[in-house]
A and B are shown apart, each in its own frame.
Chain A
Amino acid sequence: GAVVSQHPSRVICKSGTSVKIECRSLDFQATTMFWYRQFPKQSLMLMATSNEGSKATYEQGVEKDKFLINHASLTLSTLTVTSAHPEDSSFYICSARDHGGSYNEQFFGPGTRLTVL
């Protein structure tokens, strides 16, 4: 089956620093990737939709200057949390849509736990 990886799986950083999270589709091409944020004991909140070669579409209330998304290739999207603060600590999950599939199923990465001190 289709596999999506995320790197790193866990990151701890100091307040004010920037952190980059990578999302890769390992065995398929993904023209669209999604970035979610999940708080403890809560559901996934869609942050943005990333389309290869174009600007990401951000959900209402998500700061595009703080959460920079780059989708430079058909297999890689990155999320950069700029000037991270403790309130940015969360579990970030990406998913990739397989356009080679029969109905554009999304496949999820294992997530990245971000802790900002």
Chain B
Amino acid sequence: AQSVTQLDSQVPVFEEAPVELRCNYSSSVSVYLFWYVQYPNQGLQLLLKYLSGSTLVKGINGFEAEFNKSQTSFHLRKPSVHISDTAEYFCAVSDPGRGSTLGRLYFGRGTQLTVWP
């Protein structure tokens, strides 16, 4: 089974400041990597994903993430945040292998990003 670690449970920042949300995973094999955002009382919305190719992935709302295989990390970044970015962010890993784990997502515990004016 995969393991996903989001070290920061809460990240407070001021508006227009840069932000980085950290995500590390445990796997020695190829994985798919995802970042999701969840607003209060809503489901999850995909921000971006890494499947293969370029290690720098750009997503919606100005977010980007960089896949680092040697450090098994997939940190999410945004150069300038807005108050509307306040939400819970989840990192997830998918096992692209076959069998019963195919397509299953393993989630981190989430990081609450709060943007202050």
| A11 to B52 CA separation, bound complex (whole angstroms) | 41
| A11 to B44 CA separation, bound complex (whole angstroms) | 20
B70 part of interface (Cβ distance < 8 Å): no
Q: Contact between B103 and A32 (Cβ–Cβ < 8 Å)?
A: yes
Interface size on A, residues (CB 8 A): 25
Chain B 81-117 interface mask (CB, 8 Å, partner A; 1/0): 0000000001000001000101111011110100000
| A31 to B44 CA separation, bound complex (whole angstroms) | 20
In the complex with contacts A57-B100, A103-B51, A105-B49, A43-B43 CB distance below 8 A: no
Q: Contact between A111 and B32 (Cβ–Cβ < 8 Å)?
A: no
Determine chain A's interface SS by DSSP, over half rule: strand
Most buried by A among B42, B96, B108: B42
List of A residues within 8 angstroms of B104 by Cβ: 34, 46, 49
A89 part of interface (Cβ distance < 8 Å): no
| A6 to B42 CA separation, bound complex (whole angstroms) | 11
| A107 to B44 CA separation, bound complex (whole angstroms) | 8
Q: Contact between A111 and B49 (Cβ–Cβ < 8 Å)?
A: no
List of A residues within 8 angstroms of B90 by Cβ: 43-44
Partner of A106 from the list B103, B108, B109, B110 (CB cut-off 8 Å) is B103
List of B residues within 8 angstroms of A49 by Cβ: 100, 104
B28 part of interface (Cβ distance < 8 Å): no
| A94 to B41 CA separation, bound complex (whole angstroms) | 14
Residues on A close to B: CB < 8 A?
Answer: 4, 6, 32, 34, 41-44, 46, 49, 57, 91, 93, 95, 97, 103-111, 113
Residues on B close to A: CB < 8 A?
Answer: 32, 36, 41-46, 49, 51, 90, 96, 100, 102-105, 107-110, 112
